[in-house]
Chains A and B, each alone.
Chain A
Amino acid sequence: MLDAIKNVKIHLIVLILVAASEAIGILKFKVGPGMLVLLPMLYAVFIGTFLGPKFLKVVKDKDMGHASALVSLTLMLLMARYGTLVGPKFFEILKAGPALVLQEFGNLGTLLIGIPIAMFLGLKREAVGAAHSIAREPNVALIGDIYGLDSAEGRGVMGVYICGTVFGTIFFGLAASFLSILNVFHPYALAMASGVGSASMMTATVGSLSAIYPEMADKIQAFGVASNTLSGLDGVYMSMLIALPLSNKLYNFLYRLKFGKPVEA
């Protein structure tokens, strides 16, 4: 860790990436019924990727190792901010009713569908990191804490995290529009489900829904924000206490089914 801290070059590169990305700011494009929103963090990860030896040769293998070693610590400040998003609304959320709390269990649908598909596609321990949750910041931090982000689980969670960052906003914006066309779920239910722990995904969903149902916009937004705030808090407990153990059990079960022998330790 100490070598990584002393690597001034890395910190300067990050500073430049941050300054440039924030200077570009948020870009929005209309795509069909949805909205494509590009956030500064996307430019930062995108440009960062191209600095390696394969492309621009600005950073060496040693520097890349140092940068990854620092990621899980850099997440902590954001986690603190998450807590402060929940705090002020704590009592409102308590009152917001059982629907808000119970819909969180829908997140378990993620692993029940995700782990079998990931393993069918040939992923191993990556499957647990990738599909135990929707892989937003608290989940990345949790996997980093337990397995380390250099592990197979870490690669899985980072992969889904990055895909979610790249496609998530457009995916959720469009999914909300399409599901509302099908008319199966009430707009309030679609709003509550948008709280998956990512502010940008929630914003995209709530944005599309408010445009489609302007007369319900106030309540749609309130439900979206409350649900997202709640996920920011209980999402991490849920992942640690239920989703991750369940993912490991499902993984071990499917592994035995697929390879006819238990997972080697």
Chain B
Amino acid sequence: MNKILESTIVLLIVAAITLVGNRIGWGFGIAEALPGMAVLLGICILGILANTYVYKLPTVLYVITFGMVVTMPGVPGSETFAAWVSKVNFLALTTPILAYAGVGIGKDLPALKQTGWRIVVVSLFVMAGTYVGSAAIAHVVLKSLGEI
């Protein structure tokens, strides 16, 4: 119970910070974005509850699935929920995450320095591998479907 309460408090703090960023960067008023943020918060808390009490799958999986279900056409209220969350800009949610991560990085700077350049090289191969691999498969399948 304690853990769930703590998580909820953290999410509330991040939500408040996001609402400020969402106002400054994307022009959505705080009151205007509040219902959407409340929906997102509710989804997160449900996800944490499901992970704790239902079955121990990664919380991320629950959270993404719940977010999808509540906005899926045909689900009662889905259009309202989709309209509300559209007032919370997608990129506005990324800025606080990276701010916390950035403040925390200092702790790992020595370790990052050590693996740093290698991680950069790996990143380039990772990005190229994903892109070329996916493009090749898409090309072959589209060709065999007669789409191109």
Please list the residues of chain A having a beta carbon within 8 angstroms of any beta carbon in chain B: 1-2, 4-5, 10-11, 13-15, 17-19, 21-23, 25, 39-42, 44-49, 51-55, 59, 61, 63-71, 73-88, 90-91, 97-100, 102-110, 112-114, 117-118, 121-123, 126-127, 130-131, 133-135, 137-138, 141-142, 145-146, 155-156, 158-160, 162-165, 167-168, 171-172, 175, 179, 184-186, 188-190, 192-196, 199-200, 232-233, 236-237, 240
A131 to B134, CA, bound (A): 16
In the complex, per-residue mask of B70-110: 1 if CB is within 8 Å of any chain A CB, else 0: 11110100100110010010111111111111111111110
Chain B: CB-nearest residue to A104: B134
Chain A residues with CB under 8 Å of B15's CB are 77
Q: Which of B45-90 contact A (CB under 8 A)?
A: 47-48, 58-61, 63-73, 75, 78, 81-82, 85, 88, 90
Chain B residues with CB under 8 Å of A85's CB are 90
Chain A: CB-nearest residue to B3: A1
The answer to whether A130 touches B40 (Cβ under 8 A) is: no
* A157: min CB distance to chain B, Å: 10
The answer to whether A39 touches B91 (Cβ under 8 A) is: yes
A107 to B147, CA, bound (A): 22
Chain B residues with CB under 8 Å of A74's CB are 10, 14, 96-97, 100
Beyond the given pairs A86-B68, A192-B142, 7 more chain A to chain B contacts, judged by CB atoms under 8 angstroms and listed by A's residue number, are A23-B24, A85-B90, A87-B71, A99-B142, A105-B133, A107-B130, A236-B58
Q: Looking at chain A's contact residues, is the secondary structure mostly helix, strand, loop, or mixed?
A: helix
The answer to whether B9 touches A117 (Cβ under 8 A) is: no
Option from B102, B122, B143 in Cβ contact (under 8 Å) with A114:
B122
Taking residues whose C-beta sits less than 8 angstroms from the other chain, chain B's interface range is: 35 or more
Please list the residues of chain B having a beta carbon within 8 angstroms of any beta carbon in chain A: 3, 6-7, 9-11, 13-15, 17-18, 20-22, 24-26, 37, 39-41, 43-44, 47-48, 58-61, 63-73, 75, 78, 81-82, 85, 88, 90-109, 111-112, 115-116, 118-139, 141-143, 145, 147-148
The answer to whether A193 touches B118 (Cβ under 8 A) is: no
26 chain-A/chain-B pairs, Cβ below 8 angstroms: A1-B6, A5-B13, A17-B99, A21-B95, A22-B21, A46-B102, A74-B96, A76-B63, A77-B44, A80-B47, A80-B63, A81-B85, A84-B70, A87-B72, A117-B121, A117-B125, A131-B126, A138-B60, A138-B64, A156-B119, A160-B122, A189-B138, A189-B148, A193-B132, A196-B127, A232-B64
The answer to whether A70 touches B145 (Cβ under 8 A) is: no
A46 to B101, CA, bound (A): 10
* B60: min CB distance to chain A, Å: 4
